[in-house]
Amino acid sequence: MRTVAVLCSSLERPRTLAASFTEPNNSSVSERAGASPFEVSQDRGRTMVLNYRPKPRVVLLIALALLPLACSNQEVQKQRHFKRGNEYAAEKRDEFAVLEYANAVRLDPKFGEARLKLAEAYERMNNLRAAFPEFIRAADALPDNRDAQIKATQILLLGGRFEDAKARATTLLTRNSKDVDALLLRANAFAALKDPAGAITEIEEALKVQPNESRTFVNLGAVRMGSGDAKEAEAAFRKAVSLEPSSVDAHLAFANFLWSAGRQAEAEQEVKQALSLQPRHLLANRMLGVLYMATKRSQEAEQPLKAVAEISQLPAARFQLAEYYLNVRRNEEATKLLTELAANQATFADAEAALASIDYDRGRRAEANARLDKLLARAPKDARALAMKARWLASEKKLDEALVRAKAAVAADPQSAPAQYTLGMVHDLRRDVPDAIKAYNEVLRLNPRAVAAQVELSRLNLATGDGDAALRYAEEAKQTEPASAVARMALARSLLVRGDLGRAETEIAELQRGLPSSADVHTLNGTLQFRRNNYAAARTSFERALELTPGNFEAIAGLVGLDLQARQSGTALHRIEAELTKQPDRVDLLALAAQVYDQAGQSDRAEQALRRAVAADPRFSTGYGMLAQLYMKQQRLDEARAEFERMVKRDPRAVGPRTMVGVILETQGKRDEARRSYEATVAEMTNAPVAANNLAFMYAEEGKNLDVALQLATSAKQQVPDSAEVDDTLGWVYYKKDLATLAVGPLEESLKKMPDNADILYHLGLTYARIGEKAKAREALERALKLNPRLAGAESARRTLASVSQ
């Protein structure tokens, strides 16, 4: 095709080009005999070609002669399709218009005008998935069309391609540095890339061009709002409204800000003001309906939501109305609306899935599964139906089957954030934490404002000990949706774990005002009061949480903690055992019971509780870890190692259990096996500082692989910079490499953290001796031998001590 295109563009004078080809010097035998290249037959007076035996020169000349005609016909055809598309579009028959425009761009993929019209037709049909890529292709084909570039940049921003959006806006500004639209688009790109300063600079430039432009202040308000500057954001939104009181967009943007700030009454007034200007404004009606629902005024929500369905005439609006009917338990009206939507081929799948969901929620699970299975038989790659099936299987604890369906949903539509979220949820339930985190991060890539994913990531990172990441995700969730209770709870929980009790108290106080009957909020307050040593207040909060939600684990754990603090282990045991009679296979309760039994000296019962926990949920890795620790405490090292090995078999990426296998082997004196275990761990994982430290120390003790030992010790130091053990290892490796002057610093730092550790004193004493600091060496070695006369290097310590005492 590329060759044809080149020839088409160059054959303006086909005769001249054909004449340039000379007659060959010799001819074929058939030509000399006068044979024709065609064999013909007569059919009712019509000559028909039966076989065509072309000669090379003839083929070339014919091809060259036909190319201008083909190009001309192609141009005529594409213009004909384009004209027909325009006619259908004018008649509002977009379903036919898209076919004509598609034919035009098929004939000429660089036909930018047709691509733009195709994109616009798709957009009018609300087929945004098809429209958006076409808008971008149209802009690529029409580099000088400003409007096409503006539209493509807007779409890139919506799609999360912020760098690409910034690049297009920058190109527009090179052509016209005072293009306000381009300046505002680049400002939005900077804001999305978390560069509020850059965004503000662009907006300031726009204000220099048009100082009284309402939409510029709307953008300024959005940027200020995103950076957490509520006061400046409100001022910008108010300025936007004052500059253009008749601007519906300005009123709605201000309403959104007020709503996010929890000022629902003021937000409602702004939305109503917008509706007074344009009663049939789609977004204004939708916002009012959702606002009514959020403020528990469901009866008032019906009118604006019905208006949305009537105005838009789009299936999505009718689905939203059906969802409203379901929320207010008007199931018959919801079912009727969904049944109508199911009759339409375009909305069949979504409507059937919604009807199946209604059956499932009503407890008619057989009917629900039958309906959903029928849908999947007809549309086996429907991502929504597959994700729904996965959620149902997960709720029935069929986690392996749920995982298969969730993966199928993502494979069917990798760009579906709900499908990715379902996959994360299933991985989470299977306790596959790394995979769950990966899926939730993919949700955020697809939808950076997905609060539910941000909250889950905060929780999972908190559980894995990454408090900084947990806090970051919680803060992002609150920033995305300031009025979200789950976001505020996630933030409060992260702050409590970090020990930032002041900020945690502020968040919890706001939650208590808004949700006085929330068990989760009372539990958070109980934890706060416990951390402040206000035990009576903590007990009151935990007990209130249990009244509101019987069986609340965090409340039970809080009360057990208070019982133990008050030295009432019997009360704690009675409390847990009472709960276990109601929920005998609840693994977190069993693990809590094991802790209490162990503290009470009942190690056999602790072991029984943990055995029950891992039997109830073989994926409960915490249970295996606790069993292993219990065995180590009892010097049952083979059994402890077996438990850790089971954990590694289930999750080979689990750093802690893999490291513990090496630690136990080393403790048992099986140094070769321990070394191999550590080596395998550090070879496969970059985040195993304990294994790296221990292996480095083993190499140093043996005096081999010292360069590798230094790399390992340095890596461990980077990951756990405050560890006394790692500082000791690093210093010891330097000493073994005859770099005693470098060894002093880390060894002295290690001793500051553990001043009575005989091994560190021994290492430091030898180091001082090597650099000639005899007094310091004598002091360190004398203390080391006094603390532990039988330390591993006792003989070496005595010899060195004798040498520095002379």
**What's the pLDDT at 403?**
95
264-282 pLDDT, tens digit per residue, is 889 899 999 999 999 988 8
| β-strand partners of 39 | 51
Yes or no: say if 493 and 474 are a contact pair by the CB < 8 Å rule: yes
DSSP string for residues in 655-681 = HHHHHHHHHHHHHTT-HHHHHHHHHHH
The secondary structure of residue 568, as a DSSP letter, is -
**Residue 16 pLDDT grade (very low, low, confident, very high; cuts 50, 70, 90):** very low
Does residue 656 carry a pLDDT above 80? no
* Per-residue tokens: 441: 């991060």
**What's the pLDDT at 2?**
35
**What's the pLDDT at 30?**
35
* Per-residue tokens: 43: 């059919």
**Phi-psi domain of 602 (left: phi exceeds 0; alpha: psi -120 through 50; beta: other):** beta
- The Cα 705–Cα 684 span in angstroms is 19
The residue whose two tokens read 């505020």 is 488
| β-strand partners of 41 | 48
- The Cα 104–Cα 133 span in angstroms is 17
Does residue 10 carry a pLDDT above 50? no
Helix (H, G, I), strand (E, B) or coil at 360: helix
- The Cα 232–Cα 200 span in angstroms is 12
**Phi-psi domain of 466 (left: phi exceeds 0; alpha: psi -120 through 50; beta: other):** beta
Q: Exposed (0-12), middle (13-18) or buried (19+): which is 789, by Cβ within 10 Å?
A: exposed
Q: How far is CA 29 from the centre of its chain?
A: 74
- The Cα 120–Cα 192 span in angstroms is 26
**Phi-psi domain of 239 (left: phi exceeds 0; alpha: psi -120 through 50; beta: other):** alpha
**Residue 68 pLDDT grade (very low, low, confident, very high; cuts 50, 70, 90):** low
The residue whose two tokens read 């204004």 is 284
| β-strand partners of 48 | 41
Residues in the chain: 806
**What's the pLDDT at 631?**
82
Q: What is the mean pLDDT of residues 387-394?
A: 93
Does residue 620 carry a pLDDT above 70? yes
Yes or no: say if 199 and 187 are a contact pair by the CB < 8 Å rule: yes
741-799 pLDDT, tens digit per residue, is 999 999 999 998 888 899 999 999 999 999 999 999 999 999 999 999 988 889 999 99
Nearest to 352 by CA among 365, 343, 361: 343
User: Kindly report the CA angle at 155 between 150 and 161, in degrees rounded to 5?
Assistant: 110
Yes or no: say if 418 and 405 are a contact pair by the CB < 8 Å rule: no
**What's the pLDDT at 565?**
87
| β-strand partners of 43 | 46
Q: Exposed (0-12), middle (13-18) or buried (19+): which is 627, by Cβ within 10 Å?
A: buried
282-313 pLDDT, tens digit per residue, is 888 888 988 888 777 888 888 888 888 888 77
Nearest to 196 by CA among 188, 207, 205, 204: 188
**What's the pLDDT at 539?**
95
217-242 pLDDT, tens digit per residue, is 888 888 888 777 888 888 998 999 99
Q: What is the mean pLDDT of residues 719-730?
A: 86
409-449 pLDDT, tens digit per residue, is 999 999 999 999 999 999 999 888 888 999 999 999 988 88
| Helical spans, DSSP H, in 176-314 | 180-192, 196-209, 214-226, 230-243, 248-260, 264-277, 282-294, 298-312
Q: Exposed (0-12), middle (13-18) or buried (19+): which is 603, by Cβ within 10 Å?
A: middle
* Per-residue tokens: 130: 């098809």
Return mean pLDDT, the chain.
84
526-550 pLDDT, tens digit per residue, is 999 999 999 999 999 999 999 999 9
**Residue 257 pLDDT grade (very low, low, confident, very high; cuts 50, 70, 90):** confident
**Residue 261 pLDDT grade (very low, low, confident, very high; cuts 50, 70, 90):** confident
Yes or no: say if 559 and 576 are a contact pair by the CB < 8 Å rule: no
**What's the pLDDT at 31?**
35
| β-strand partners of 38 | 52
437-488 pLDDT, tens digit per residue, is 999 999 999 888 899 999 999 999 888 778 889 999 999 998 888 778 899 9
Nearest to 608 by CA among 632, 582, 578, 584: 584
Q: What is the mean pLDDT of residues 663-688?
A: 88
